Structure 1
Amino acid sequence: MIVVTNIVASVIVIIVLQLIGMLIFSWMTPFKDMEELKRGNVAVGLAFGGKFMATAVILGVAAYTNTSIWHMMLWFAVGYVCLIAAYWIFELATPGLKISEHLQKGNVAIGILLCAVFLGTSFAVSSLIV
């Protein structure tokens, strides 16, 4: 019974962390992600999907490598900060390119690239979680 309780608690924490992560990512963009998705903006969908998958990778590895929910949450926080840093570093590394403007205009190439930045960062950061 204790094992089932721990699994249920872990799943609830994972879902809550995933939702919080996506909410924070939504706050980082000057436009409303959900409105852009409703309009069919593929670029925003790719970038948002990349953010979702990246947080899921970090959460999955943190859950797999930690027996404590608190340690899982801590490692997720570390990984999540790295994802946010990757976004801002990418923004700084491309000074002639305003990422959010291109996403809002539907630039699919930028959406794909940003998706890859998030996924690549999550895989790299996940190798540090132990």
Structure 2
Amino acid sequence: MNDWQQGLITIVAFMALYVLVLVVGRFLNDRFTPYSLTHALAVEDNPAIGLSLSGYLLASTLIYLGALLGPSSGSLIKDLEVVGGYSLLGLMFLNLSRWVLDRLLLNQFCNLTAIVKGRNMAMGAVRFGIYLATGFIAAGALHGEGGGPLTASLFFVLGQGVLIVFSRLYDWNTPYALQREIEQGNLAAGIAFAGAIMALGILIGKGISGAFVGWSANLWQFAQVSLVGMVLLMMVRFVVEHLLLPGHDLDEEIARDRNVAAGWVECSGTLGFALLLAVLL
């Protein structure tokens, strides 16, 4: 078998595994939620659940890529087993992140009622964001050489903790009550917050994507990236308001006017800065 044939077999094998990961991911999502995805999407045409599922599937792809881009053993069969196993672990992380969101991050109202019965797009946007943030963190934890399921699990737990702390700081830094705005369906607030959460996930994922050299070194690196990321993202909000929306109060646009355009501006501006920082850090 020549190199071209071997390469084609490898591509087909990993594409097939990717499809399997998406199928398993959808099954797990359906299994761990009290509603039928098919019914919600095809019968009720629920856009909030559609947005949430989109984030879940994109995050599943990030996790798969994180595992795929890790070190190779040189054996196709073994690599498929490792990538498949780590992808399954990452899918479990995604479903746990939904529990963290519901019980610890936005815990002042029933997230399930908001997204299923209320068709709350703001809640759907936040779920989209938390899934992507978790996907970036999990991909970073699974990508590096020298780690394993234990290190990936620890960094997932720590990453979720940082997201919770950051959400409290974000709420404190805005003059409006974040959870109340999300509960009331303020899509502008949901988009802006989702962008901030995803931005932090990008930075944390980048910070932990290197080789695992030891607990003390990697935990210290995680702490540095998390702290610097949270501080800088808080500052970015000020920059976005004064550079991208000069002469207008960003908080008023989001909370009072529910200006979805302003939410997108904050979201894209924050993500842009995060991508730049991920390259520079």
Q: TM-score, normalised by structure 2?
A: 0.43
CA deviations over 1:56-115 (Å, ceiling 9, x no partner): 111111121363021112022222222112111223334411000000021011000000
Q: 1:83 to 1:66 in 2, by over 3 A?
A: farther
* Residue among 149, 160, 168 paired with 1:15: 160
Matched with 2:23 is none
Matched with 1:122 is 274
Contact 1:43/1:112, CA 8 A, preserved across alignment: yes
Contact 1:79/1:126, CA 8 A, preserved across alignment: no
Could you list the runs of 5+ residues in structure 2 that have no partner in the other structure?
1-146, 213-217
- The one-letter amino acid paired with 2:264 is I
Could you list the runs of 5+ residues in structure 1 that have no partner in the other structure?
none
Aligned-residue offset at 1:6: 2.7
* Residue among 261, 270, 281 paired with 1:109: 261
> Does 1:89 pair with 2:220?
no
Segment of structure 1 superposing worse, 77-86 or 22-31: 77-86
Take 2:152 and 2:205, find their aligned partners in 1: how far apart are those partners?
13
CA radius of gyration, larger in: 2
Q: 1:24 to 1:32 in 2, by over 3 A?
A: same
Q: Report % sequence identity.
A: 24
Matched with 1:80 is 230
Q: 1:4-83, aligned counterparts within 5 Å?
A: 4-65=149-210, 67=212, 68-83=218-233
> Does 1:100 pair with 2:234?
no
Contact 2:200/2:274, CA 8 A, preserved across alignment: yes
RCO greater where, 1 or 2, for CA within 8 Å and sep 6 or more?
A: 1
Q: How many residues align?
A: 128
Q: 1:13 to 1:98 in 2, by over 3 A?
A: same
- The one-letter amino acid paired with 2:165 is I
Q: TM-score, normalised by structure 1?
A: 0.89
Segment of structure 1 superposing worse, 16-25 or 91-100: 91-100
Q: 1:37 to 1:66 in 2, by over 3 A?
A: farther
- The one-letter amino acid paired with 1:97 is H
Contact 1:57/1:126, CA 8 A, preserved across alignment: yes
Contact 2:195/2:266, CA 8 A, preserved across alignment: yes
* Residue aligned with 1:7, SS: helix
Contact 2:240/2:270, CA 8 A, preserved across alignment: no
Take 2:173 and 2:211, find their aligned partners in 1: how far apart are those partners?
29
Please, what is the CA RMSD of the aligned residues?
Answer: 1.7
